[in-house]
């Protein structure tokens, strides 16, 4: 199998001098060059006579790719209709097979010369605190500074050169290191998970309210897995925002786990990959791509916040990491644990069908109560003109600050305003490349597209009618809410948490520390604040626009809004002081608001199920999307229409479209969508394969396949 998008593996002849086995990593000739590949299987067919085959050049000295990972690659490729070589490339990491040619890095001088340190220099030293040498690139990244700072520190004698290791050894977490004393409820769940870890494949949903100690409980499952000498994998939706999780792990096991995500330097990634392959990384915590790491003996897969849409990979190989985690676990004969306070309807349906087991933690740990959630009806108590915080919310903020407690305002929108409109002619500022409005970012003095990255200065006059001073921001983003909070509560110390104000893991970790140290009174943030943060002094959460996620034709809009807002609400009142949550909404009677206010999710999920079941919508049926895109609208239309004509039909099969995608123009490409829906007992892949085989696709036109779509844009 070669790491390229070919439809399958290639045949090669084995010369007598070498003896490759399935899984071995080999060098083979391809188009006059040598390329790395993996021996996938013994030869299957005999289409090409032996003498015509090219010989394998060499077997590399690298850990072989195990059978369970090869079967996983095959499985993901078949399920997502991706070329298997493309999936295999995610598992192979060719870079990790190359020797390092820059083996020197830096460590701190001992003793340190007595010099005054700038903040940047201090951060570089902090990044070296564990004694392991690091490369310049790693230090630059970890300290958020430039290579000049590192060079300067070397010249000043603060850093000394040190050889870099070729594989990172991760210290062994100690499963016997004492953890917290678990409550009886937590103990029961932990015992059930330990039992699962002792068995073969199983899937367990760990369903517990926010703050119930789900993490502490599944750390016990990890301890049990380590005790059996197998590796554990934990998938987190946003690993860059997980500093608190990492601290907690270190407290429980005495050492840090191996971390895997796209923000790592190439070198760290290489070292980590090698360590995993060599069995030297007992616990890996990572983003979805960690599923493709070469664990020799994976004994447990945990998916935390399993309902999160961040687990869906939308580019390249389009797959859902939660679902593929279950497949990976099955192929390794290991248990999978899915964790959430608001499990997805998919997972709930699997529990109800008896495929997954459910463990529940119905109470918050330590007697903390769940926050009281109330809806603020914006029709009855509207904010002042041009403002966005209604009187009940500002009053609650005032009370919270007066008590010396912390508050959080949540609005899932970056920037200052989502729309800029000309008051003279009604012109709306739109992205030239996408069907989308430009979002004002006042701090950067720009209008920006959140889909393609296009940005332009805010024009002084309307580009349509030329009127001066007529462009007006419409609606709020977090920057505008921050401005309003600043006017109203000038003394409150504010912190904005959004992906553009907190670039990278270090900024997020610093923000978390500032909040824990009570250096912040008011947090204003986008969905970043909904993650698993534990801020004991935070007692008020205000949701600025609870209706925001409900528009649009998304199948899961209601479910997702409930999950997101419940997660946000779950940040309040996690310690002794009780929490409260105010939801600003124009429709307090909406089932989503009712579910949040009453806290009865099971009832809401039953309603959702009742809506989806009759039409065979997921999880009671299967969906796959075809997205046609081309530079010219006519070309996209031609292919989309041809697909429409060739659409499969029959009992239990429905095809919707072709129709312009909601993002009909994205990065300059015209997009059309078709949706295939089938009964649950049918497989969409054979239908898709024969469908696609009938329609020739013109050069420059693409047809992307999305099985189990999460985004309908």
- Is 334 strand, coil or helix? coil
Q: Which residue in 27, 58, 167, 182 binds ligand ADP (CB under 6 A)?
A: 182
| Least distance in angstroms from the C-beta of 64 to ligand ADP | 37
**With the C-alpha atoms ordered 294, 299, 305, 309, is the resulting torsion angle positive or negative?**
positive
> Where do we find the tokens 């996209």?
636
Q: Are 85 and 1 spatial neighbours (Cβ–Cβ below 8 Å)?
A: yes
| Least distance in angstroms from the C-beta of 357 to ligand ADP | 18
| Least distance in angstroms from the C-beta of 546 to ligand ADP | 21
Query: What is the number of residues in the chain?
Result: 713
Gap between the Cα atoms of 31 and 6, Å rounded? 14
Stretch touching ligand ADP by CB under 6 A, among 20-28, 177-185, 523-531, 631-639:
177-185
**563 contact choice in Zn ion, ligand ADP, none (CB below 5 to 8 Å, kind-dependent):** none
**14 contact choice in Zn ion, ligand ADP, none (CB below 5 to 8 Å, kind-dependent):** none
607 to 636, contacts with ligand ADP by CB under 6 A?
none
Q: Which residue in 123, 365, 480, 560 binds ligand ADP (CB under 6 A)?
A: 365
| Token pair of 542 as six digits | 């205000």
**454 contact choice in Zn ion, ligand ADP, none (CB below 5 to 8 Å, kind-dependent):** Zn ion
Cα-Cα end-to-end distance for the chain: 34
The secondary structure element, H or E, covering residue 704 is strand 702-707
Between residues 186 and 344, which has the closer beta carbon with respect to ligand ADP?
A: 186
Between residues 37 and 208, which has the closer beta carbon with respect to ligand ADP?
A: 208
**257 contact choice in ligand ADP, Zn ion, none (CB below 5 to 8 Å, kind-dependent):** none
Gap between the Cα atoms of 88 and 93, Å rounded? 9
**219 contact choice in ligand ADP, Zn ion, none (CB below 5 to 8 Å, kind-dependent):** none
- According to DSSP, the β-strands at 312-313 and 669-679 are unpaired
The secondary structure element, H or E, covering residue 257 is none
**212 contact choice in Zn ion, ligand ADP, none (CB below 5 to 8 Å, kind-dependent):** ligand ADP
Between residues 449 and 710, which has the closer beta carbon with respect to Zn ion?
A: 449
The secondary structure element, H or E, covering residue 538 is strand 538-543
Q: Determine phi and psi for 568, rounding to 5 degrees.
A: -60, -50
**519 exposed, middle or buried (CB, 10 Å; 0-12, 13-18, 19+)?**
exposed
Per the rule left: phi > 0, alpha: psi between -120 and 50, beta: everything else, 416 is: alpha
Question: Does the footprint of ligand ADP cover residue 340 (CB under 6 A)?
Answer: no
Q: Are 295 and 231 spatial neighbours (Cβ–Cβ below 8 Å)?
A: yes
Stretch touching ligand ADP by CB under 6 A, among 35-43, 175-183, 376-384, 670-678:
175-183
**214 contact choice in ligand ADP, Zn ion, none (CB below 5 to 8 Å, kind-dependent):** ligand ADP
495 to 534, contacts with ligand ADP by CB under 6 A?
534
Gap between the Cα atoms of 19 and 631, Å rounded? 49
Between residues 340 and 420, which has the closer beta carbon with respect to ligand ADP?
A: 340
**495 contact choice in Zn ion, ligand ADP, none (CB below 5 to 8 Å, kind-dependent):** none
Between residues 433 and 654, which has the closer beta carbon with respect to Zn ion?
A: 433
**Binding site residues, Zn ion, CB under 5 A:** 431, 433-434, 449, 451-452, 454
186 to 245, contacts with ligand ADP by CB under 6 A?
186, 208, 210-216
| Least distance in angstroms from the C-beta of 604 to ligand ADP | 20
Three-state SS annotation for 274-309: HHHHCCCCCEEEECHHHHHCCCCCEEEEEEECCCCH
Residue 521, Cβ neighbours under 10 Å: how many?
21
Question: Does the footprint of ligand ADP cover residue 641 (CB under 6 A)?
Answer: no
List interacting residues with ligand ADP (CB under 6 A).
180-183, 186, 208, 210-216, 365, 534
């Amino acid at each position: 199998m070669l790491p390229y998008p070919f439809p399958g593996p290639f045949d090669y002849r084995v010369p007598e001098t070498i003896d490759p086995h399935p899984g071995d990593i080999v060098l083979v000739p391809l188009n006059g060059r040598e390329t790395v590949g993996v021996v996938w299987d013994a030869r299957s067919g005999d289409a090409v006579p032996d003498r015509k085959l090219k010989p394998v050049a060499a077997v590399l000295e690298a850990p072989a790719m195990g059978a369970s990972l090869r079967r996983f690659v095959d499985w993901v490729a078949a399920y997502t209709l991706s070329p298997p070589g493309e999936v295999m490339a995610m598992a192979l990491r060719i870079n990790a097979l190359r020797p390092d040619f820059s083996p020197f890095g830096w460590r701190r001088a001992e003793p340190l010369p007595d010099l005054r340190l700038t903040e940047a220099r201090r951060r570089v030293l902090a990044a070296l605190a564990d004694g392991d040498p690091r490369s310049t690139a790693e230090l630059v990244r970890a300290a958020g500074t430039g290579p000049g700072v590192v060079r300067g520190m070397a010249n000043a004698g603060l850093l000394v050169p040190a050889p870099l290791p070729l594989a990172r050894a991760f210290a062994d977490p100690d499963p016997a290191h004492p953890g917290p004393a678990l409550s009886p409820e937590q103990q029961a769940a932990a015992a059930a998970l330990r039992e699962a870890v002792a068995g073969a494949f199983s899937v367990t949903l760990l369903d517990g309210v926010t703050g119930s100690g789900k993490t502490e409980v599944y750390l016990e499952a990890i301890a049990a897995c380590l005790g059996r000498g197998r590796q554990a994998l934990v998938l987190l939706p946003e690993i860059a925002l997980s500093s608190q999780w990492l601290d907690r792990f270190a407290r429980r096991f005495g050492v840090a786990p191996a971390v895997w995500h796209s923000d790592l330097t190439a070198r760290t990634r290489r070292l980590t990959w090698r360590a995993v392959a060599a069995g030297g990384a007992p616990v890996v915590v990572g983003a979805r791509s960690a599923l493709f790491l070469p664990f020799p003996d994976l004994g447990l897969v945990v998916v935390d916040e399993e309902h999160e849409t961040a687990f869906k990979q939308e580019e390249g190989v389009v797959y859902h990491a939660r679902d593929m985690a279950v497949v990976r676990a099955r192929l390794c004969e290991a248990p999978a644990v899915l964790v959430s306070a608001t499990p997805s309807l998919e997972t709930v349906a699997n529990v109800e069908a008896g495929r997954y087991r459910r463990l529940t933690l119905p109470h918050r740990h330590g007697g903390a109560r769940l926050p009281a959630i109330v809806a603020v009806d914006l029709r009855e108590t509207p904010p002042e003109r041009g403002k966005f915080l209604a009187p009940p919310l500002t009053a609650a903020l005032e009370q919270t600050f007066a008590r010396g407690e912390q508050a959080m305002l949540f609005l899932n929108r970056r920037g200052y305003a989502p729309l800029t409109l000309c008051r003279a002619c009604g012109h709306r500022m739109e992205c030239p490349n996408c069907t989308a409005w430009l979002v004002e970012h006042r701090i950067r003095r720009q209008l920006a597209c959140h889909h393609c990255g296009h940005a332009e200065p805010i024009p002084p006059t309307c580009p349509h009618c030329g009127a001066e001073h007529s462009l007006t921001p419409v609606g709020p983003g977090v920057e505008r809410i921050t401005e309003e909070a600043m006017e109203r509560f000038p003394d409150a110390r504010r912190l904005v948490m959004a992906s553009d104000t907190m670039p990278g893991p270090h900024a997020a970790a610093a923000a978390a520390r500032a909040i824990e140290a009570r250096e912040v009174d008011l947090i204003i943030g986008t969905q970043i604040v909904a993650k698993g943060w534990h801020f004991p002094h935070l007692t008020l959460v205000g949701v600025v626009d609870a209706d925001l996620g409900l528009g649009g034709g998304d199948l899961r809009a209601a479910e997702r809004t409930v999950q997101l807002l419940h997660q946000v609400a779950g940040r309040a009142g996690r310690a002794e002081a009780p929490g409260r949550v105010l939801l600003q909404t124009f429709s307090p009677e909406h089932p989503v608001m009712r579910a949040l206010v009453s806290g009865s999710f099971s009832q809401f999920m039953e309603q959702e199920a009742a809506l989806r079941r009759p039409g065979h919508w997921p999880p009671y049926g299967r969906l796959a999307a075809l997205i046609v895109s081309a530079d010219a609208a006519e070309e996209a239309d031609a292919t989309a229409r041809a697909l429409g004509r060739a659409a499969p039909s029959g009992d239990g099969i429905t095809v919707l479209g072709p129709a312009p995608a909601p993002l009909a123009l994205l990065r300059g490409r015209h997009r059309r969508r078709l949706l295939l829906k089938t009964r649950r007992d049918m497989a969409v892949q054979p239908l898709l394969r024969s469908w696609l085989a009938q329609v020739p696709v013109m050069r420059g036109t693409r047809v992307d396949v999305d099985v189990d779509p999460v985004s309908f844009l």
